[in-house]
């Protein structure tokens, strides 16, 4: 685990700073006011972008997991798959236990005078708000990709500029996860608290999965390459 924190220090640090900022906002600003302030910045371009970008959480993880299984080491593919699946299952269990109202329902009951901005073509949900499943998926996916990529960079000493590439890559992956998380607030599908919970679940599940899989990195099955083996 020490290696994980060292190699992914940028992604983890940015995530912690985001959680601290969100945590302070949640403590200092009432729920409704915070959501209104965060979601009330709509433009036609952003409406299109966030409408389609948020949907990538529903299919992109599976495409990447299959690609890792086929074109990379089997162990990395299974690690990524485990992170995404376990994070998703954990989120769904918590959702159904808490059964919190989504912003559209909450505002209708508590602040009916406010009309939330809607985006054409987005099907609005009403319950099972906490935590945000899409946010969980975005952070678990891009964090595990950071783990896999930084490990590859650090173990290939022939590559030049490894540290710089690793830092830039972690910033890009974190930014992609952040955009996915914000899309849920922008579209008024979730509150900031839901996103906070999704980030925590996504990161923790990925760390747990890595802690399990790291014990098998030296075994033959982990380093097996499906397509390369078939071509041999």
106 Cα distance to chain centroid: 25
3-class SS of residue 138: helix
Q: Can you read off the two tokens belonging to residue 187?
A: 């579209």
Q: Can you read off the two tokens belonging to residue 146?
A: 């950071």
Q: What is the mean pLDDT of residues 83-97?
A: 96
Q: What is the mean pLDDT of residues 64-93?
A: 95
- Give yes or no for a contact between 216 and 152, defined as CB atoms under 8 angstroms apart: no
What confidence score (pLDDT) does residue 101 get?
97
Give the residue from 168, 146, 22, 156 showing the smallest Cα distance to 83: 146
Global pTM? Answer: 0.94
Q: Kindly report, residue by residue over 203-220, the tens digit of the pLDDT.
A: 999 999 999 999 998 899
Tell me the DSSP string of 49-112: HHHHHGGGGGTHHHHHHHHHHHHS-HHHHHHHHHHHHHHHHHHHHHHHHH-PPPHHHHHHHH-T
202, pLDDT greater than 80:
yes
What confidence score (pLDDT) does residue 229 get?
53
Distance CA 225, CA 10 (A): 29
Mean residue pLDDT of the chain comes to: 94
What confidence score (pLDDT) does residue 232 get?
38
227, pLDDT greater than 90:
no
86, pLDDT greater than 50:
yes
Asked if omega into 224 is within 30° of 0 (cis), the reply is no
Q: What is the mean pLDDT of residues 194-210?
A: 97
162, pLDDT greater than 90:
no
- Give yes or no for a contact between 78 and 69, defined as CB atoms under 8 angstroms apart: yes
What confidence score (pLDDT) does residue 230 get?
47
Distance CA 200, CA 77 (A): 22
154, pLDDT greater than 50:
yes
Q: Domain residues for 64?
A: 2-231
199, pLDDT greater than 70:
yes
State the total domains in the chain: 1
Higher pLDDT, 141 or 162: 141
Q: What is the mean pLDDT of residues 55-75?
A: 94
What confidence score (pLDDT) does residue 108 get?
95
């Amino acid at each position: 685990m020490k290696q994980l924190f060292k190699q992914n220090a940028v992604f983890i640090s940015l995530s912690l700073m985001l959680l601290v900022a969100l945590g302070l906002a949640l403590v200092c600003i009432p729920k409704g006011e915070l959501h209104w302030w965060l979601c009330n910045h709509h433009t036609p371009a952003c409406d299109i972008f966030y409408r389609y970008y948020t949907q990538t959480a529903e299919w992109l993880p599976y495409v990447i997991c299959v690609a890792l299984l086929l074109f990379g080491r089997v162990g990395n593919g299974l690690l990524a798959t485990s992170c995404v699946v376990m994070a998703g299952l954990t989120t769904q269990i918590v959702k159904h236990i808490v059964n919190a109202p989504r912003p559209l329902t909450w505002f209708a009951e508590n602040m009916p005078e406010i009309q939330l901005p809607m985006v054409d073509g987005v099907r609005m949900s009403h319950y099972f708000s906490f935590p945000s499943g899409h946010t969980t998926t975005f952070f678990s996916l891009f964090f595990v990709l950071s783990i896999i990529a930084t490990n590859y960079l650090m173990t290939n000493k022939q590559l030049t500029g490894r540290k710089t590439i690793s830092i830039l890559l972690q910033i890009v992956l974190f930014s992609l996860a952040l955009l996915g998380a914000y899309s849920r607030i922008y579209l008024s599908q979730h509150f900031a608290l839901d996103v906070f919970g999704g980030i925590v679940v996504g990161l923790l599940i990925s760390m747990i999965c890595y802690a399990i899989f790291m014990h098998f990195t030296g075994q033959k099955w982990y380093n097996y390459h499906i397509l390369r083996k078939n071509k041999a």
